[in-house]
Amino acid sequence: MPDDHSILEIDCEHVILQISNYIDGEIDANLRARMEAHVRGCKHCSAILDGTNNTLRLLADGKTLELPPGFSERLRLRLAAHINHK
Ligand SMILES: [Zn+2]
């Protein structure tokens, strides 16, 4: 399908839902490319991605961080598991 928005546009909610998989590299190349394109064009999501990286660091320090609305409990658990594997 050659129409631009089938390829380009995923919405913020989709990015947030997939962000832990994105960080873990557990998404396919197509979705990854779409997320990267979205994050480049979306200050909101690029801030969330930065915040998620900060969260990983904070958890590693044994601190907790209040996650922004939209972060699921699943992500919280995945982030914790991510640290525990180190
Ligand atoms: Zn966004």
pLDDT in tens, 27-38: 999 999 999 999
How close is the Cα of 41 to the center of ligand 1, in Å?
8
Domain boundaries, the chain: 4-84
Q: How far apart are CA 45 and CA 47, in angstroms?
A: 5
Supply the pLDDT for residue 6. Answer: 47
Q: pTM for the complete prediction? A: 0.55
Supply the pLDDT for residue 79. Answer: 67
How close is the Cα of 9 to the center of ligand 1, in Å?
10
Task: Give the chain's residues under pLDDT 50.
Answer: 1-6
How close is the Cα of 35 to the center of ligand 1, in Å?
9
